[in-house]
């Protein structure tokens, strides 16, 4: 199967873990499309996402990584935000820390772009006659890109569909006392409304001490779920289920006051588990 992976940037831990997991499962992607890191919109987005102080820390850490070379000999030097993904890469003896290095290592074609929907990307993909795109970040996809692969664009959504569409869905599920999980689905022209492949529920465990920890574990779960979906597609075992737009609600970025409440709710679930 000819697979292409979409990555949010070359430092995307999720995209790196997905590339590695697909390679280890015997489905090495043929190409990877990656958004350029140094664009004004990315800087503004990161600044708003992290706040000025954490943004500076983020930049310093990335610069350190660059200074240390892309191929780091010591695993201890890998600096990941997500300890689950870091653990996964150490387990596989991976000694590189960004998407570009992984592409060099596995002979994957790499395309940098400012917009994954651009003509540059579409013509790059047409060269490979691809079967499947695996989404590991890269913004909103337009119809041109969605219709390029023969099978479709596969995404692992960090919430349970069709009930929880949109952003911060894990936090919204927690806040509303619902189960959390990961849904693998095909991307269509609307937000999280494509055909559902399967849902993996993720029970809260004692190690989920904070929203960030739980989110990291969910991201780790999405990597396994994507590999599982690719395996099912390769074997012809995939049965998808359509979803109607009115079946679920679209959620938006959660305000920090509600995030605090969700964290409190998580603590109420985790505390008895620790005891």
Partner 1 sequence: MPLRTKFQRHFRRKIEQFVRELNPAYWPLGAFVLVHDTMQYLLHSPTTPYSYTRSRFPTQRSLAIVMQWITRAQDASQDGGIAAYASLYGGFGPSYPETTGYLIPTLIDYGTMSGDWSYVERAVRAADWLVGLQSRDGAFPGGFALSSDGPSVFNTGQILFGLLAVFQRTGDEKYRRAALRAGQWLVSVQSSDGSWQQYTYEGKSHVYYTMVSWALAELYKATEEPTFGRAVRHNLDWVLTQQKPNGWFEGYNLRHRPIYLHFIAYTLQGLLEAASIIGPTQVIEAVQKPAELLLRKFELKKSLSGAYSPEWHPQALYMCMTGNAQMAIVWQRLSQITNDLRFFNAALKMHELLKASLWYRGPYILRGAVKGSFPIWGRYLTFRYPNWAAKFTADSFMIELQLLKTLYSKEMPCES
Per CB under 8 A, the list member of 28, 45, 66, 205 interacting with partner 1 is 45
Out of 111, 167, 213, 232, the residue judged to bind partner 1 by CB under 8 A: 167
* 43 binds partner 1 per the rule CB under 8 A: no
Q: Is 80 in the site for partner 1 (CB under 8 A)?
A: no
CB of 63 to partner 1, least distance (A): 23
Q: With contact defined as beta carbons under 8 Å apart, do 153 and 205 qualify?
A: no
Q: Work out whether 251 is an interface residue with partner 1 (CB under 8 A).
A: yes
Binding of residue 258 to partner 1 (CB under 8 A)? yes
Report helix angle 211-235 to 83-91, nearest 10: 50
Distances in whole angstroms, Cα of residue 137 to Cα of each of 8, 67, 198, 208, 275: 4, 25, 20, 24, 37
Cβ at position 7, least distance to partner 1 in Å = 19
Residues numbered 172-211 forming contacts with partner 1, rule: CB under 8 A = 172, 175-176
Is 268 an interacting residue with respect to partner 1 (CB under 8 A)? Answer: yes
* Cα gap 168→253, rounded to integer Å: 6
- d(CA 214, CA 270) in angstroms, rounded, equals 11
Residues 12-41 that bind partner 1 (CB under 8 A): 41
Q: Does 1 bind partner 1 (CB under 8 A)?
A: no
Q: Burial letters for 166-204: b for 16+ Cβ neighbours within 10 Å, e otherwise?
A: bbbbbbbbbbeeeebbbbbbbbbeeebbbebbbbbebee
Site for partner 1, rule CB under 8 A: 41, 44-45, 48-49, 51, 167, 172, 175-176, 249-258, 261, 264-265, 268
């Amino acid at each position: 199967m000819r697979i292409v992976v979409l990555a949010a940037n070359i430092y995307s831990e999720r995209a790196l873990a997905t590339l590695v997991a697909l390679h280890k499962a015997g489905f090495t992607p043929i190409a990877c499309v990656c958004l350029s890191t140094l664009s004004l919109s990315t800087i503004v987005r990161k600044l708003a996402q992290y706040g000025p102080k954490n943004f500076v820390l983020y930049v310093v850490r990335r610069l350190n990584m660059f200074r240390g070379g892309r191929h780091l000999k010591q695993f201890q030097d890998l600096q990941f935000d997500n300890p689950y993904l870091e653990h996964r890469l150490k387990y596989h003896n991976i000694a590189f820390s960004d998407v570009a290095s992984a592409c060099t290592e596995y002979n994957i074609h790499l395309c940098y772009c400012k917009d994954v929907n651009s003509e540059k990307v579409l013509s790059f993909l047409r060269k490979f006659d691809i079967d499947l795109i695996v989404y590991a970040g890269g913004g909103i996809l337009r119809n041109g890109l969605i219709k390029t692969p023969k099978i479709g664009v596969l995404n692992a959504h960090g919430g349970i569909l069709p009930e929880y569409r949109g952003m911060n869905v894990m936090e919204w599920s927690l806040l509303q006392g619902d189960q959390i999980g990961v849904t693998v689905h095909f991307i269509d022209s609307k937000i999280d409304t494509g055909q559902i492949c399967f849902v993996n529920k993720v029970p809260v465990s004692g190690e989920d001490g904070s929203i960030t920890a739980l989110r990291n574990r969910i991201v780790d779960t999405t990597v396994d779920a994507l590999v599982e979906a690719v395996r099912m597609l390769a074997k012809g075992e995939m049965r998808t289920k359509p979803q109607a737009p009115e079946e679920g609600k679209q959620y938006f970025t959660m305000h920090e006051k509600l995030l605090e409440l969700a964290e409190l709710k998580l603590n109420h679930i985790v505390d008895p588990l620790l005891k």
